Amino acid sequence: MKIVNYIKSSYYEFKDHVTWPSWSSLQQDTIIVAIATVILAIFLYLVDTFFGDVVIKNIFTFLR
């Protein structure tokens, strides 16, 4: 019975007491997150490429 009461109270909590964002607000936030993700991915790619090239060149120079 405790599990059933927990599920019922959780349902009512989500239904009656949670403030859900509006559709336009949700779309705007999603666009912001998508743009930030793309910018971060590009930045990490550039940093990884740069340091990868530096490390590889230094290792090959050191081994010769």
Structural domain boundaries in the chain: 21-64
CA 60, CA 18: separation in Å to the nearest integer? 59
Quick one: pLDDT at residue 57? 81
Query: What is the torsional sign of CA 43, 46, 44, 37?
Result: positive
User: For residue 57, how many other CB atoms are within 10 A of its CB?
Assistant: 10
Quick one: pLDDT at residue 64? 66
Q: What is the pLDDT of residues 3-60, one digit of tens each?
A: 999 999 999 998 888 888 999 999 999 999 999 999 999 999 999 999 888 888 887 7
Quick one: pLDDT at residue 3? 93
pTM of structure = 0.64
Token digits for 39?
């910018």
